[in-house]
Amino acid sequence: MRFVDEATIKVTAGHGGRGAVGFRREKFIPFGGPDGGDGGKGADVYLEGVEGINTLADFRFNRAFKGPHGQPGGSADCTGAGGEDLIVPVPIGTVVTDIDTQEELGDVTQAGQRLLVAKGGKGGWGNARFKSSTNRTPRKAMPGLPGEKRDLRLEMKVMADVGLLGLPNAGKSTLIRAVSAAKPKVADYPFTTLHPNLGVVRVGEHRSFVMADIPGLIEGAADGAGLGIQFLKHLQRTGVLLHLIDIAPPDPAADPVRDARAIAAELKKFNANLAQKERWLILNKIDQLPAGDADKLCKDIVRRLRWKGRVFRISGLAHQGTEELCQAIMVRLEEIAV
């Protein structure tokens, strides 16, 4: 699978440099006193969001990152050079968790944003720091402190405004192809989509949103069946979910209402908060039936589901109703952003 959305890495910050033991020795200054400088600070390790990286695949091969150590202190009160901070590029939308403590360290959501994940050790004191009225010639210096070590779990969550939800072959990939420049694979067999696809939908000058096509869910997904459950986390950032229903499934025994309820149940089982997210009902493939039959069937589906939210009738293949849907989505996203 080309899309990798989880990885584990080990990060180690640099150790602080050792402090120096030194004494000032110059002509005509026989008792110059201690002048050993402090050691340099060890390098910090940061994760930085970078545009153009779409997966965590690079971390399958390179899992260990170590910052350089600080340099030892020198004579004449010279502090050692600090280690140069280590910057590790990650995709935008990466959530970082400490594996040992299960603490969420942060969420990289913007290009250029840096997240400190391991702090470098402080440099040790040189002997000049230990001079006192009772100890004029200290011969003591401190080693630098060790840098932090952490085992991290990186989890990428797609940054999308709108997420598509539904059974395999509900028409999600066809819809995103119809309204954006994204070209996911479309075929007449289940699980055509194997990884999330993103498309930018433009609805006017300087007005656009990002739509995510997620692999289809099936009943029992929360227990490991199918593929979609692996990617439901990518819907957690979205503002609106579009629940696509195929009103003309190829299987005569299929019941769109039963399938819709099963998907809603899997959604709730996976994450209660995700189940509460705003969800619109999209009745797709209306071009597959005569207009009168399609209208009757759509009304029956809405009635049986007791749907109280917004409903749209579209055909992604024939581009029917897609423009009106995108305009409505844009307006709603602007309302949410206020």
- Highest-pLDDT range among 84-88, 129-133, 219-223, 331-335: 84-88
pLDDT at 206: 80
Q: Is 46 exposed, middle or buried (0-12, 13-18, 19+ CB in 10 A)?
A: buried
pLDDT at 189: 45
Q: Does residue 214 surpass a pLDDT of 90?
A: no
Which range has the worst mean pLDDT, 154-168, 226-240, 268-282?
226-240
Q: Does residue 215 surpass a pLDDT of 80?
A: no
Q: Which residues make up the CATH 2.70.210.12 domain(s) of the chain?
A: 6-156
Average pLDDT over residues 21-40: 88
- CATH code linked to domain 162-337: 3.40.50.300
Q: Does residue 218 surpass a pLDDT of 70?
A: no
Q: Look up the CATH superfamily of 6-156.
A: GTP1/OBG domain (2.70.210.12)
pLDDT at 186: 61
pLDDT at 1: 40
Q: Which residues make up the CATH 3.40.50.300 domain(s) of the chain?
A: 162-337
Q: How far apart are CA 48 and CA 233, in angstroms?
A: 21
- How far is CA 237 from its chain centroid? 9
Q: Does residue 149 surpass a pLDDT of 90?
A: yes
Average pLDDT over residues 256-277: 83
Give 157's pLDDT tier (boundaries 50, 70, 90).
confident
- The string of pLDDT tens digits covering residues 160-207 is 889 888 888 788 888 988 888 766 556 554 444 556 777 889 988 888
pLDDT at 185: 57
- Highest-pLDDT range among 82-86, 199-203, 236-240, 316-320: 82-86
Helices and strands (H, E) in the chain, number of each type: 5, 14
pLDDT at 224: 47
Q: How far apart are CA 205 and CA 57, in angstroms?
A: 35
Specify the 3-state DSSP secondary structure of 252. Answer: coil
How is residue 314 written in tokens?
């579209």
pLDDT at 3: 61
Average pLDDT over residues 292-312: 93
Higher pLDDT among residues 170 and 81, named by residue: 81
Higher pLDDT among residues 172 and 4, named by residue: 172
pLDDT at 2: 52
How is residue 103 written in tokens?
């603490």
pLDDT at 320: 92
pLDDT > 70: percent of the chain = 90
Average pLDDT over residues 283-294: 92
How is residue 58 written in tokens?
């690079």
Q: How far is CA 195 from CA 52, 55, 189, in A?
A: 17, 11, 15
